[in-house]
């Protein structure tokens, strides 16, 4: 299978534990190129942990994870896995954008400074090109007039939109969202979801851990319900939300819909 034929994300038997606590108990998932996969489930079900494994912010204990046809965090020789050097892990991570619940912006930098920092320092791209791309991205997320502002001068929704633009400034092939609206006041959620809808329309592959069922139904190509460290049910969002097959899924949805 060539890289272009492979799914953007492929997980086979992924396990993750912290001490004796097994958080992921054998995750099998594939995310096709250009697809939007939404992941739902109760707190503690392993959703965020799985997302962090895709980006190798967490090391898996068993199984295999590929992004764009490349094994994440390891190289394989025969039947054995060998951990990659930190520099090689960092190279892989450059290709994957991640947006967290909390915005994690650099408070001492302007909005524009937040966007250009990594492309200039990590990828060493030409300054003029990076600044032009950053301004285009700020326009895209509706914050073209905030380039000179500092994070503390922005609302939570604006900060999260800056965080999305900052991730996109690295031109990733995959975007991961870990409950990007859960820390926002309800009236600010819509502006962030609107940006994510527009991003989905560009064809970038997205994996979104979310509680926003309307977004999942409208934008998602596939909906995955996780509980207890396993995938309980997966399928087209309208099918999973409208006619769930598993009792555990029905029970969860009855509380959130």
Which residue in this structure is represented by tokens 């007039």? 145
Express each pLDDT in 189-242 by its tens digit.
999 999 999 999 999 999 999 999 999 999 999 999 999 999 999 999 999 999
Q: Give pTM, 2 decimals.
A: 0.94
Express each pLDDT in 109-168 by its tens digit.
999 999 999 999 999 999 999 999 999 999 999 999 999 999 999 999 999 999 999 999
Q: Which of 11, 43, 44, 15 is nearest to 28 (CA)?
A: 11
d(CA 101, CA 48): 10
3-state secondary structure of 25: strand
Express each pLDDT in 33-42 by its tens digit.
999 999 999 9
Q: Which of 24, 77, 71, 63 is nearest to 46 (CA)?
A: 24
d(CA 11, CA 64): 6
For residue 88, the Cα-to-chain-centroid distance in whole angstroms is 20
**If phi over 0 gives left and psi between -120 and 50 gives alpha, with beta otherwise, what is residue 34?**
left
Confidence band of 5 (pLDDT split at 50, 70, 90):
confident
Which residue in this structure is represented by tokens 């190798």? 56
3-state secondary structure of 16: strand
d(CA 155, CA 175): 23
CA-derived radius of gyration, the chain: 18
Residue 2 has pLDDT above 60, yes or no: no
Confidence band of 4 (pLDDT split at 50, 70, 90):
low
d(CA 228, CA 37): 19
Q: Distance of CA 196 to CAs 71, 115, 174, 199, Å?
A: 27, 17, 13, 5
């Amino acid at each position: 299978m060539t890289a272009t034929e492979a799914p953007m994300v492929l997980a086979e038997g992924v396990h993750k534990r912290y001490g004796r606590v097994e958080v992921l108990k054998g995750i099998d998932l594939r995310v096709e190129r250009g697809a939007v996969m939404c992941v739902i489930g109760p707190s503690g079900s392993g959703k965020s942990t799985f997302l962090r494994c895709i980006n190798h912010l967490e090391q898996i204990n068993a199984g295999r994870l590929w992004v764009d046809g490349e094994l994440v965090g390891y190289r394989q020789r025969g039947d054995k896995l060998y951990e990659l050097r930190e520099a090689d892990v960092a190279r892989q991570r450059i290709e994957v954008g991640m947006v967290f619940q909390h915005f994690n912006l650099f408070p001492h930098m302007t909005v524009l400074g937040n966007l250009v920092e990594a492309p200039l320092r990590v990828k060493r791209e030409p300054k003029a090109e990076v600044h032009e791309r950053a301004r285009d991205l700020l326009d895209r997320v509706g914050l073209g007039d905030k380039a000179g502002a500092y994070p503390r001068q922005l609302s939570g929704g604006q900060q999260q939109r800056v965080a999305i633009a900052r991730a996109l400034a690295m031109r990733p092939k995959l975007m991961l969202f870990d409950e990007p609206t859960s820390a926002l006041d309800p009236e600010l959620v819509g502006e962030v979801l609107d940006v994510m809808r527009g991003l989905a329309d560009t064809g970038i592959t997205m994996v979104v851990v979310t509680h926003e069922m309307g977004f999942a139904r409208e934008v998602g190509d596939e909906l995955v319900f996780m509980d207890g460290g396993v995938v309980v049910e997966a399928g087209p969002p309208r099918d999973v939300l409208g006619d769930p097959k598993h009792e555990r899924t029905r029970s969860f949805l009855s509380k959130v819909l």
